[in-house]
Structure 1
């Protein structure tokens, strides 16, 4: 998808999955200048992970860790690759990716298509060091023990990523979201805790289709099992009545602008439940500095973007950072982290 802004406009006229593949190739091979240093006011941290800016790339763009060098030069504070499963899998049948242009949205039912752990691990061994790189872990569709798949991923990639995300919230692998129930979650997170080695923090990514009580339960389970942060949230199965695109009825997870308010509401539920005990990362419908600032003031110490890049191009990253820096300074904050601790 994104590569530079004019290229992004051209890619939007191609089949979405073809455009995605071309963008990955471009990010692999095109020489990109560094985006430069960040304004100190953008500094933040997610647990033990110190970042020069809070704008991260959500998982899904670089599923196989192929374009980390190019992505690291676009100005992100952190880049999350994956989801990766222990064994390679083709994902769901095509077509499985749809642009809802009128709605500034995307529907995908990719199904964790990826090359598996071994090629992923090989690429992480040569990852750039200029930006924090995270590995998003998933489970194979046909596995009998999903928790074991997460443990396998964590152990195989130990020492190769700056952080790990346990993704139990994709709607495109049957039964995966059932891991958000308390018994299954305790089993999963208990086994993940036992498998951890080294200093890399472990995050948990949750769905936006949760009640306040479910969010509170997940926060308490995460704290009980030493999860370092919560990523709020993944794509939604909901279909707002406001959708205009001909693709609105396609199955899969909806992301982009229509997810904005739902994702913000779940973030606020998580902030209320955690009371500062668990770092939060805001995701879903973020397309401007204002959107990012609202998430930060709602309790997120960092944010991630993806769908907005498809429509805005990678210049969006710099625009968000500049606007966010201006807003932080206008309100008297010395850093993003400080602003995230002062809720409104």
Structure 2
């Protein structure tokens, strides 16, 4: 029903407006007695064989929701009823910010992709904490953190530390988002020496807490082998718990969408089916070259159970969906978990 009726209707309207409408709809429907239970019956797969134990956390299943969908942590309790094993909120910045000018979110229907240049639009740290205090404990929560656009380069680390320290009691793991193509002063966040410094400061803050949180790094899909070698060195050198591969891409090659339309859209990060192979290549390279030295969360172009199994085969330990969730609907999560179980039983 989703792909035949709901999606064609939603895709008639502006993507960002649809996003807000869908949030309100799910929120309102979930207030009706019995609806949350119905969602769980339809979409949740419960089986001990799906459990994953990574960096000290037990995930009920390996399929998560990537950051960017529930930026302000307003819907994670309701989204947990769709079968996710974990949900990543954010990207959260210390202060709320409006992000880049609209329009900034575009569907590439022929490619089953999305281009966005949102620019870390979010309501800020305090708003996220207010929402996270409502956590019903249904699902593991990740906190994706970044810097404010207006922050000076010398204060980047301060922004990350402010988010890390404040969110520490409310999330189960952290992701340092240093690879988003839609924020200014991107170059410094790709500099290995600076990343060593940043991660070191965050690790120091982590050890000041009685309970430490796992810290992961989110990387771009456009990195070459030399850059990926540096990522491996970085993760091992700084004792990071893992990597999320990958963020959105700036590459526009081999798209079905006409060049004219791409020029009209302009810059932004590409997600969905067009980056599936790129993401899988990065996962396989990191896994093989490091000899599975650290866990990898695979994200990018997962629109089917087959896509998910391909990521796992390449070396991913957990998975995240975003664009696939929008194009394929909530049954995607159940289909992936069912396929994983079938593979284990075969």
> Given the two structures, how large is their TM-score scaled by the length of structure 2?
0.90
Q: How does 1:63-212 map to 2 (within 5 A)?
A: 63-144=71-152, 145-176=155-186, 178-196=188-206, 197=209, 198-212=211-225
**Deviations for 1:60-116, whole angstroms, at most 9, x for unmatched residues?**
011100111111111000000110100110000000000000110000000000000
1:37 Cα deviation from its structure 2 partner = 4.5
In structure 1, C-alpha distance between the alignment counterparts of 2:334 and 2:261, rounded to whole Å = 31
Residue 273 of structure 2 is matched in structure 1 by: 257
1:236-261 alpha-carbon deviations (Å, 9 max, x no partner): 00001333256433310000000001
Offset, 1:5:
8.4
Query: Whole-Å Cα distance in 1 between the matches of residues 248 and 221 of structure 2?
Result: 7
Query: Partner of 1:338 in structure 2?
Result: none
CA distance in 2, matches of 1:290, 1:232: 18
Q: CA deviation at 1:120?
A: 0.3
1:11 aligns with 2:10: yes
Instruction: Select between 269-278 and 11-20 the one with higher mean Cα deviation.
Output: 269-278
Aligned mate of 1:314, from 318, 322, 330: 330
In the other structure, the counterpart of 1:287 is 303
Per the TM alignment, residue 299 of structure 1 is displaced from its structure 2 partner at its CA by: 1.1
Count of residues in Structure 1 that have an aligned counterpart in Structure 2: 328
Unaligned runs of 5+ in 1: 331-344
1:302 offset after TM fit, Å? Answer: 0.5
Give the secondary-structure state (helix, strand or coil) at the position aligned to 1:73: helix
Query: Aligned partners of 1:142 and 1:64: how far apart in 2?
Result: 19
Q: Distance in 1 between matches of 2:261 and 2:295?
A: 35
CA 1:241–1:87: 2 relative to 1, 3 Å: same
Work out the CA distance in 1 between the residues paired with 2:181 and 2:291.
Answer: 28
Aligned counterpart, 2:282:
266
Per-residue deviation, 1:7: 3.9
CA displacement at 1:233 relative to structure 2: 0.3
**2:44/2:334 contact within 8 Å kept:** no
Partner in structure 2 of residue 227 of structure 1? 240
- The alpha carbon displacement at 1:8 in A equals 4.0
- Tell me if structure 2 keeps the 8 A contact 1:41–1:329: no
- How far has the Cα of 1:36 moved from its partner? 4.0
Q: Distance in 1 between matches of 2:133 and 2:191?
A: 35
- What does the per-residue CA deviation read over 1:2-35, in whole Å, with 9 as the maximum and x for residues that have no partner? x998544432221100001111112322222224
More helix by share: 2
Residue of structure 2 in register with 1:337 after alignment: none
Aligned to 1:21: 20
Report 1 or 2 for greater relative contact order, CA contacts < 8 Å, sequence distance ≥ 6.
Answer: 1
Q: Distance in 2 between matches of 1:134 and 1:233?
A: 16
1:187-223: CA deviations, max 9, x gaps? 1111111111323211110111101121121122122
Q: Aligned-pair RMSD on alpha carbons?
A: 1.7
CA distance in 2, matches of 1:274, 1:50: 24
